[in-house]
A and B are shown apart, each in its own frame.
Chain A
């Protein structure tokens, strides 16, 4: 059965086309983020260091890493370090010893980093872990459906999705790893196994903190009693605590991972209510979604993905989010699009909006990604500058943000009304 399933996927035209596109772009593009993360990760296979936060806090920082991130080049929980580090350990013979020199940099000689003879090999190898988790999501998505036709549609929507190809392979971001664990958690929650679902949410949070924000929703929807809700919460928090506990004593870890400014970005947007007081629109929306989950979705465990989508979409609409975070919601949107063909138009709309936002808001993630092909790409006018020549860039950005909010509001209303029928 398993072999038949594997063969059905690996020999399908959709899979081969998607894999071909991925392999074709993998060696040639990447954001500085990719090198920044691996500047931390290489310490495990090449130096045997287990406390990366000690290194980030005190050891010398490469010039390019310093310019782009200063010392905050590794602000992720330790499981990210150990997972990506394990992949690098396995692939170490292919990296070769020269990799250490490349990753440590050549002072402010950026050109030597960009035009290094082995740079295409390094870019390719650094993205291999993403390919692994990408394929895992693909197989998992198929398991949400029983009909072969739906399984194939899910495969097409995920595997040929331009956002899924862009974020890990052109950009080089690892957000699809926590997205995989959250999706797996939803899968188990749908099978009425909320404790396993919560554990998987917790493992996802051990890569990036955001699943912790989804955990209370999972608990109230799937917990039959208050005691069970607490159990689900504890099960979800456990993997995060266990994997991070050894580092809690480290100041750099506390400041940059546990209490990082990025994990509190949703509090940047505040409405003043007079005096020195204000209210946070994200928290208002989150509170409403939480209460909706508690009173309207309680016990409807197969609908747990609705408030999760609402929370993530609301987060994107009220926060100046980093574009790579959008992959968190994408697998769930794929499931909706397969279940309801009408939603494929909104899917196309979201893809368009994603790339429009990328062009007008996100810094250094368009032509700059091709700097490895030719350093001249670094010198081309930024898309933001070009778009700014067409229309006032600040208004353009606000328009895109407004459209994101409009999409969220429409999708939320649609999903809630569907849930009622």
Chain B
């Protein structure tokens, strides 16, 4: 039983957590694939082990148009370091569509370009009404959206995540929590006094 608990505890500690990194969650614009062949977004990963790019695609007609997701370093002209193929059937119309791949250990501080491209030409596949959500303006300062490799004035509705093992998640969260308590000592001294007083009154009331 004891061994089983140790194995279970170790497994939980080794298990990881996908932590959110970069995000741009606004969506006032639509980029239709019937008007653009390649749509991409540049971003800087602020953590190692980048493993998910979520992009908000919408496929109202649920067509099975084949697509390719690629992740490039620095510019879209460089060779893809991660590639995933998908169809319109994989598009999540409620949430963003997750493109999950093998974590990139050296991703911290690196500029990436995530790109989505239909696999067939417009003549072969009319692409229906499939579009990407985007937002006009510079809410996300670390990068921008491109249509057919031309920079635009908006950002895609997207987010990225990185893999972190549970042990790091717990230790990081705990140390961060404790340090924040010490950053507002006046509040926490008064708070602790009120808790102690209440416990004292409760004990007295027994």
Query: Using an 8 Å CB-CB cutoff, how does the interface string of B172-185 with A read, 1 for contact, 0 for none?
Result: 11101100110110
Q: Does B169 contact A (CB under 8 A)?
A: yes
Q: Does B199 contact A (CB under 8 A)?
A: yes
Which of B17, B20, B141, B176 is within 8 Å of A115, CB to CB? B176
Q: Does A49 contact B (CB under 8 A)?
A: no
Contacting residues, chain B, for A13 (C-beta < 8 A): 202, 205-206
Q: Does A339 contact B (CB under 8 A)?
A: no
- Which one of B61-69, B104-112, B190-198 is at the interface? B190-198
A8 CB to nearest chain B CB (Å)? 12
Cross-chain contact B24 with A108 (CB below 8 angstroms): yes
The CA-CA distance from A376 to B175 in the complex, in Å, is 13
- Which one of A116-124, A203-211, A288-296, A326-334 is at the interface? A116-124
Query: Using an 8 Å CB-CB cutoff, how does the interface string of A120-157 with B read, 1 for contact, 0 for none?
Result: 11001000000000000000000000000000000000
B131 CB to nearest chain A CB (Å)? 19
Cross-chain contact B180 with A119 (CB below 8 angstroms): yes
Q: Does A374 contact B (CB under 8 A)?
A: yes
Q: Does A228 contact B (CB under 8 A)?
A: no
A92 CB to nearest chain B CB (Å)? 15
Which of A20, A66, A118, A373 is within 8 Å of B198, CB to CB? A20
Given A67-B25, A108-B140, A118-B187, is A376 in contact with B202 using a C-beta cutoff of 8 Å?
Answer: no
The CA-CA distance from A118 to B195 in the complex, in Å, is 19
Q: Does A19 contact B (CB under 8 A)?
A: yes
Cross-chain contact A117 with B183 (CB below 8 angstroms): yes
Enumerate B126-159 residues with CB–CB distance to A below 8 Å: 139-141
Q: Does B72 contact A (CB under 8 A)?
A: no
Q: Does A380 contact B (CB under 8 A)?
A: yes
- Interface of chain B, helix or strand or loop or mixed? helix
Q: Interface size for chain B: under 10, 10 to 19, 20 to 34, or 35 or more residues?
A: 20 to 34
Contacting residues, chain A, for B23 (C-beta < 8 A): 108, 110
Cross-chain contact B184 with A23 (CB below 8 angstroms): no
Q: Does A17 contact B (CB under 8 A)?
A: yes
Determine the residue in chain B with the shortest Cβ distance to A116: B180
Which of A20, A23, A67, A120 is within 8 Å of B180, CB to CB? A120
Q: Does B74 contact A (CB under 8 A)?
A: no
Contacting residues, chain B, for A392 (C-beta < 8 A): none
Cross-chain contact A11 with B173 (CB below 8 angstroms): no
Given A117-B180, A120-B180, A373-B177, is A23 in contact with B198 using a C-beta cutoff of 8 Å?
Answer: yes
Enumerate A138-185 residues with CB–CB distance to B below 8 Å: none
Given A118-B187, A120-B187, A121-B184, is A16 in contact with B205 using a C-beta cutoff of 8 Å?
Answer: yes
Determine the residue in chain A with the shortest Cβ distance to B22: A108
The CA-CA distance from A376 to B26 in the complex, in Å, is 22
Q: Please name 19 further chain A to chain B contacts, defined as beta carbons within 8 Å, in addition to the given A16-B205, A19-B198, sorted by A numbering.
A: A20-B195, A20-B202, A23-B194, A23-B195, A66-B26, A67-B26, A108-B24, A115-B180, A117-B180, A118-B183, A118-B187, A119-B180, A120-B188, A121-B184, A124-B187, A374-B173, A376-B19, A376-B172, A380-B17
Q: Which 6 residue pairs across A and B have the least CB separation, nearest first?
A: A374-B173, A117-B183, A121-B187, A67-B25, A20-B198, A16-B202
